[in-house]
Amino acid sequence: MPDQPITRATIEGYLHDALPPERAAAVEKAIRERPALLALVAQVRQETDHGEHSIGAVWWRERLSCPTREQLSMALEEILDDDFAAYVTAHVKLVGCHVCQATLDDLRQLRAEAVAPRTERRRRIVDSSAGVFRDVTVR
Ligand SMILES: [Zn+2]
C-alpha cells in the first residue's frame, strides 16, 4: 500500500520500529523524497524523547540512507528530480555527511580529469589499435 498517507502516528510507529518492514521501507523512502517529512520526524522525536533533536541528529540516529554514488553523480549533473535533489542537498549540506561529501569531491575530480585528457587518451587508443591492425594485416 504505497499510497497510504503518512501521519504522525505512522512516524511514531516508524521511530519505534513498530511498522511491518515493507511499510517502514515505504516510510523511509517517503522521508527521502519529501524533506518536509524529516522535519515532522524531528518534531515527533522532540516531543517523545529528551535527547538531541536537530534534524541532522535525527537523520544520523535513524540512519536514513546515503544517496548512492550514481545518485550523487546525477546530482552533480543536475539531472535528479527536484525532490531528490533537495534530499541530496539536505543530506550533504544540512546533515554534513562526510562520506557523501568525499564521494562528491571524488566525482568532481574524476569529471575534471575526464574532460581534459580525452583527446590524449583517444590518440593512445588509436595508436595501439594501429598496431593490432598492422599485425592482423601481416598474417
Ligand atoms: Zn551520506
3-state secondary structure the chain: CCCCCCCHHHHHHHHCCCCCHHHHHHHHHHHHHCHHHHHHHHHHHHHHCCCCCCHHHHHHHHCCCCCCHHHHHHHHCCCCCHHHHHHHHHHHHHCCCHHHHHHHHHHHHHHHHHHCCHHHHHHHHHHHHHHHHHHHHHC
Q: What per-residue confidence (pLDDT) applies to 1?
A: 45
CA-closest candidate to residue 31, choices 15, 50, 20, 49: 15
Instruction: Give me ligand 1 centre to Cα 122, in Å.
Output: 35
Cα 102 to middle of ligand 1, angstroms: 9
In terms of Cα–Cα distance, which of 54, 45, 38 is closest to 12?
Answer: 45
Q: How far is the CA of 132 from the centre of ligand 1 (A)?
A: 45
Closest by CA to 71, choosing from 84, 86, 83, is 84
- Predicted pLDDT at 73: 95
The tens digit of pLDDT for each residue in 55-83 reads 666 655 555 678 889 999 999 999 998 88
104 neighbors 76 (Cβ within 8 angstroms): yes
Instruction: Quote the ligand 1 centre to 53 CA distance (angstroms).
Output: 19
C-alpha of residue 38 to centroid of ligand 1, in Å? 15
At 84 the pLDDT is 84
- Residue 53's pLDDT is 56
CA atoms of 19 and 75, how far apart (whole Å): 31
Q: What is the pLDDT of residue 44?
A: 79
Find cell 591492425 and name the residue.
133
Going from the Cα of 34 to the center of ligand 1, the distance in angstroms, rounded, reads 17
